[in-house]
Amino acid sequence: MTTINIKYTACCFAAIAFFFTVRGNACDVPVFRYALERWASDPYEIIVMIDGEPGGLERKAIDGLVLRWLHDHRSYLEGIDPAVKDHFDRYDTLLPGMTVSEISDELSALEIQEADEEHPFQYQVSFIDLSQPEYHAYAEWLQKTGVAPPAAALRYPRSMNRAEPIYVVPLDGAALDRLLNSPVRNEIARRLIDGHSAVWAFLECGDADKDAAALKTLKDEAGRIEKELHLPAPDERAGVESIFLDETRRDDLRLEFSIVTVSRHDDAERALVSMLTHSEPDLPMYEDQPMVFPIYGQGRALYALIGSGINRETVEQAGEFLVGPCSCQIKEENPGVDLLIPVDWKAGVTDRMVLDRPTPSPMAPIAYATASAQASTPAATYPASRGSDSVMLLVLGLSFGAFILAGAGATAFILIKQKVNN
């Protein structure tokens, strides 16, 4: 009995802490905008699998991939180490004379730098030699795919804890380019940077009737919620939020949904299809059903709507989350899977609307004013509810602290009593 009571008490504390966390972090910034400006995508991993030192076209493809990686991350790398700039200009001549092992060491030295919150690596490149015993599992996996080495495999970000690659291509320049780029991904990025709230990726199943019916539903419902949903109003703030929307830019923030259609059989989009259809464990079971993925932020797929699950209620629920106030600023605690869209989001999203509230100095001097001075001083422009919210939060905070102390005392008493009884 005692064990059950202790667990129940712990659950109560967790629930209350969750409530206060959500309440304290609520703000007037919609999720989609906060994600666009603050949630950098986690880096995917491109694993180059070789069998001995490659040559010819394969080696040329490796050099091209490394140069592409350097190009995609040059501004960031130069930002953290200005000395790297001189080295960049020599890579074109340096690479042909380097072994794959030396290239791997060079990239590792660059990647070991900690990425900042707003501009991390879009993807990372690693090399494994399948002739080495420690990579036998990779050799077996590659054999099952039917692709002969050398090859390049795509793996989800490490934060997803998914060890097996989700897509593999032969090691040639054209295939590697399709792995990193595609027309649909570029269009999704363009729209999100342009200010779309979300881009709904409609993945066809190949059945014309199913696809047509589901797409019509999506178009109707996305159009409806675009008109009916509303952005968070200023009076929905918690009053002590650490982030807020720039009031001078509120009219520039718009609610807009758009749709892109993706064919499962489009060679240019196979990498995107693999990222989407492996984002949840059971999705490969529904290849015969159309799917919809709301994509927001810096290319983050919210979750999948499948077949008959593409309906009025589910589309509206997804829209409400995307447009609603950002109650949790930690990306990993929100639903979604990052997609590989190698775009310089930081450079693209120059129109910043999300602001951080300055933290007041703990030793700020207290100014006392005479009655006449107060009368001549312009009124402060704080929201009307700021004072009452602060008092309420103080009372709630003190009550919560007292509740924790009481709970801790009760728990200690139970444990002591259990020990005495035993």
Q: Which domain holds residue 346?
A: 22-39+184-355
Task: Evaluate whether residue 368 is within a structural domain.
Answer: no
- In order, the DSSP letters of 7-59 are HHHHHHHHHHHHHHHHHHH--SSBHHHHHHHH-PPPPEEEEEEESSS--HHHH
Cis peptide before 150 (omega within 30 of 0): yes
Domain check: are 331 and 420 in the same one?
no
Domain check: are 203 and 297 in the same one?
yes
Domain check: are 288 and 388 in the same one?
no
The CA distance from 140 to 236, in Å, is 55
Domain check: are 30 and 72 in the same one?
no
Q: How many structural domains comprise the chain?
A: 3
Domain check: are 146 and 70 in the same one?
yes
Task: Evaluate whether residue 175 is within a structural domain.
Answer: no
Domain check: are 344 and 198 in the same one?
yes
Write down the pLDDT at residue 163. Answer: 84
Task: Evaluate whether residue 179 is within a structural domain.
Answer: no
Domain check: are 303 and 198 in the same one?
yes
Provide the residue count of the chain.
422
Domain check: are 144 and 247 in the same one?
no
Task: Evaluate whether residue 96 is within a structural domain.
Answer: yes
Domain check: are 334 and 309 in the same one?
yes
Measured CA to CA in angstroms, residue 4 lies from 7, 66, 393, 404 at distances of: 5, 57, 32, 18
Question: Residue 215 carries which side chain, given as an amino acid letter?
Answer: L
Write down the pLDDT at residue 96. Answer: 80
Domain check: are 420 and 283 in the same one?
no
Write down the pLDDT at residue 106. Answer: 78
Task: Evaluate whether residue 275 is within a structural domain.
Answer: yes
Smallest CA-to-CA distance from 41 within 342, 273, 396 is with 342
Task: Evaluate whether residue 177 is within a structural domain.
Answer: no
Domain-ending residue, one of 116, 139, 156 = 156
Domain check: are 32 and 69 in the same one?
no
Question: Which residues in 333-361 are b (16+ Cβ under 10 Å) and which e?
Answer: ebebbbbbbbbbbbeebeeebbeeeeeee
Write down the pLDDT at residue 356. Answer: 67
Write down the pLDDT at residue 361. Answer: 52
Task: Evaluate whether residue 134 is within a structural domain.
Answer: yes
Domain-ending residue, one of 141, 156, 171 = 156
Smallest CA-to-CA distance from 69 within 118, 126, 149 is with 126
Reported pTM = 0.74
Task: Evaluate whether residue 277 is within a structural domain.
Answer: yes
Domain check: are 408 and 297 in the same one?
no
Phi/psi at 347 (nearest 5 deg)?
A: -75, -30
Q: Average pLDDT by consecutive 10-residue portion of the chain (422 residues)?
A: 32 35 59 88 93 86 89 72 65 80 81 55 90 91 92 93 91 93 96 96 97 98 95 60 65 89 96 96 94 96 96 96 81 88 83 66 44 34 33 42 45 36 39
Q: Token pair for residue 343?
A: 């775009």
